[in-house]
Amino acid sequence: MKALYIASTGMSAQERNVEVISNNIANMRTTGYKRQRAEFEDLLYQQISRAGSTTSDQGTMLPAGLEIGSGVRTVSAPRVMSQGTVNMTERELDVAVRGEGFFMVQLPDGRTGYTRDGSFERSADGMLVTSSGYALEGGINIPADARSVSISADGTVEAFVGNAPEPMQQGQILLARFANKSGLESLGDNLFIETPASGAPQIGVPNADGTGNLLQNYLEMANVNSVTEIADLIAAQRAYEMNSRVISGADEMMQSTTQLR
Amino acid sequence: MENAQLISLSRQMALQRQMDVVANNMANINTSGFKAENILFEEYVMPVARNRDFQRLDQPLSYVQDWTTVHDLSAGAMVQTGNELDVALSGNGFFAIETPAGERWSKSGSFQINANGTLVDLNGNAVLGEGGPIQFGPEETGILIAADGSISTSQGPKGRLRLVEFADPQELTREGSNLFAGGTPVAATGTRTMQGFVERSNVSGVSEMAEMIRVTRAYESAASMTQRQDEMRRTAIQRLGEPNA
């Protein structure tokens, strides 16, 4: 009975689906989180008779074939890279990106990480770092006696130091964008790294080069919509149940066969 | 007498296939762009003796034979995703996809852009426009797909998606990976594209469940018929074998 195996592929696909949905829901309040969506495709078909095969000496043809599918598989769970809502936080080191770009972060192993999480902090030596303590690429230093910091839409960081009336420029935040954002690999910690599928980063100045612009005092929330996720969860759970009913249906059929004598 | 058992056997084998089809539909209940399948059966009449001079004529016997699977091409539910590369088709059209084995057709419109900037499906096969694959440059943002399939970005128009329709979509065969093959494609006229939407599978859980129950019950009744035939024969042999019969 193929039906048993076919339905089991359906159950494992829905299990994956629930895993993806529960991770989205778990990260509903994660700054800069991008939700994922499980994508499925049907498996190979067994062609028992092919459409167009000849059915008689007069050359009549079978108008449609007889094909039996063999189930489903999860092909990928691409991230939906749409903009999350931007919330005011009134913290001067919170920066949201409106647009396509990612902040670039130096990872301890020397690689560059990419993130949408702009909740920055000052480290002990005055560097601008992410909330996990990784320095922002470009090394932006904020003097200890800075009264206030301003980050403009194009990424220019300025600090009002001591009693000086004029701000002092401290550097510029650059953004990276990718040909295929969904192809980035997730590292956890709100970080992504580049892969062959994502393509190389194109580094640009905010507000130009199509990277989007920066918004100080704001943070980008996760783009998870709880109502959609719950609806998807219900659909996945029901699909799981129906597939398990198919297994028990196929089992009933087998049972009536084995009871024959 | 054996005929009855063979006939119910043919029914059971057909029902097993039907169960496979139901299972495959159910497994793909969340596959975007999936189209449900139905299986059709045919009566297979055993040839009888042509000579009509016998006292008792040959009785025609009909077996059941699974004959063909048909695609249920009705539209699935359109779900809004907000993803700019999700495209749903309203109408009978299909997307044209370029695979290593040639052109294929698909209803699943959740696309991606690969590292080279080409618009691809979930397996990395290029989605065809009217002039070949659709290529996006690194600077392009704001992809817009109009209702007629024409694509534009911040850098201007990018061509049109190649949408095809079929006079007889039942000629198509399935290949897995959400792809259909074969048929004679003509340029689509009555199909519109909807950006930011995905077409869900058109499998109806309720009717598949009902179908499954019907199949299992029919199978059981065929099995019990086989059993009764067997009992009948056994009793007959016992009675006839009694010494005082």
| Interchain contact, A66 vs B39, CB within 8 Å | yes
By the CB < 8 Å criterion, does B155 face chain A? no
Instruction: Evaluate whether B190 touches B89 at the Cβ level (below 8 Å).
Output: no
Q: What confidence score (pLDDT) does residue B27 get?
A: 95
- pLDDT exceeds cutoff 70 at B122: yes
**Among the partner residues A4, A40, A259, nearest to B31 by beta-carbon distance:** A40
- Which chain A residue has the Cα nearest residue B26? A243
Residue B17: in which H helix or E strand, if any? Answer: helix B2-27
CA distance B51 to chain A (A): 24
Chain B contact set for A235 (CB, 8 A)? 30
Query: Cβ contacts of residue B209 below 8 Å, gap of 6+?
Result: A242, A245
Predicted-complex ipTM score: 0.84
Structure tokens at A255: 């049972």
Chain B contact set for A224 (CB, 8 A)? none
Q: State the Cα torsion B99-B104-B105-B111 to the nearest 10°.
A: 0
| Interchain contact, B68 vs A64, CB within 8 Å | yes
Q: How far is CA A87 from CA A156, A224, A234, in A?
A: 21, 14, 29
Q: What confidence score (pLDDT) does residue A219 get?
A: 95
Distance of CA B45 to the CA centre of its chain: 27
| Interchain contact, A6 vs B20, CB within 8 Å | yes
Chain A contact set for B65 (CB, 8 A)? none
CA distance linking residue B56 with residue B62, whole number of Å:
18
Chain A contact set for B234 (CB, 8 A)? none
CA distance B155 to chain A (A): 11
| Per-position DSSP letters for B28-55, written without gaps between them | TTT-TT---EEEEEEEEEPP--S---SS
Chain A contact set for B224 (CB, 8 A)? 256
Full pLDDT tens readout for chain A, 261 residues: 889 999 999 999 999 999 999 999 999 999 999 999 999 999 999 888 777 777 777 777 777 778 899 999 999 898 888 889 999 998 999 999 998 899 999 999 999 999 999 999 998 888 999 998 999 988 888 888 888 899 999 999 999 988 888 888 889 999 998 888 888 999 988 999 998 888 889 898 998 877 889 999 999 999 999 999 999 999 999 999 999 999 999 999 999 988 887
- Which chain A residue has the Cα nearest residue B216? A253
> First-to-last CA distance in chain A?
19
Query: Cβ contacts of residue A248 below 8 Å, gap of 6+?
Result: none
Residue A203: in which H helix or E strand, if any? Answer: strand A202-204
Residue A24: in which H helix or E strand, if any? Answer: helix A2-26
CA distance A213 to chain B (A): 14
CA distance linking residue A213 with residue B108, whole number of Å:
34
| Interchain contact, A10 vs B220, CB within 8 Å | no
| Interchain contact, A199 vs B116, CB within 8 Å | yes
| Interchain contact, B205 vs A44, CB within 8 Å | no
**Mean pLDDT lowest among A113-127, A173-187, B48-62, B151-165:** B48-62
Chain A contact set for B41 (CB, 8 A)? none
Q: What confidence score (pLDDT) does residue B1 get?
A: 57
CA distance B230 to chain A (A): 8
| Interchain contact, A260 vs B226, CB within 8 Å | yes
Q: How far is CA B200 from CA A58, B47, B152, B161, B166, in A?
A: 42, 46, 25, 20, 21
Q: How far is CA A50 from CA A70, B58, B65, B134, in A?
A: 17, 34, 15, 33
Average pLDDT over all residues of chain B:
89
Interface of B with A in 91-120 (CB under 8 A): 108, 110, 112-117
Instruction: Evaluate whether A178 touches A184 at the Cβ level (below 8 Å).
Output: yes
**Among the partner residues A50, A243, A261, nearest to B27 by beta-carbon distance:** A243
Q: What confidence score (pLDDT) does residue A21 get?
A: 96
**Mean pLDDT lowest among A51-55, B75-79, B176-180, B228-232:** A51-55
Chain B contact set for A24 (CB, 8 A)? none
- Which chain A residue has the Cα nearest residue B67? A66
**Among the partner residues A47, A66, A243, nearest to B26 by beta-carbon distance:** A243
Q: What confidence score (pLDDT) does residue A234 get?
A: 95
| Interchain contact, B117 vs A68, CB within 8 Å | no
Q: What confidence score (pLDDT) does residue A47 get?
A: 86
Q: For residue B30, which of A35, A246, A238, A80 has the smallest C-alpha distance? A: A238
By the CB < 8 Å criterion, does B184 face chain A? no
* CA angle centred on A98, ends A97 and A104, rounded to 5°: 30
CA distance A244 to chain B (A): 10
Quickly state the pLDDT bin for B116 (edges 50, 70, 90): confident
By the CB < 8 Å criterion, does B72 face chain A? no
Mean pLDDT of B163-187: 91
By the CB < 8 Å criterion, does B189 face chain A? no
> What burial letters (b/e) apply to A15-32, b meaning 16+ CB within 10 Å?
eebbebbeebbebeeebb
Q: For residue A62, which of A52, A47, A49 has the smallest C-alpha distance? A: A52
What does pTM read for this prediction? 0.87
By the CB < 8 Å criterion, does B229 face chain A? no
By the CB < 8 Å criterion, does B216 face chain A? yes
**Mean pLDDT lowest among A94-108, B56-70, B114-128, B164-178:** B56-70
Alpha carbons within 13 angstroms on the beta-carbon side of residue B100 total 2
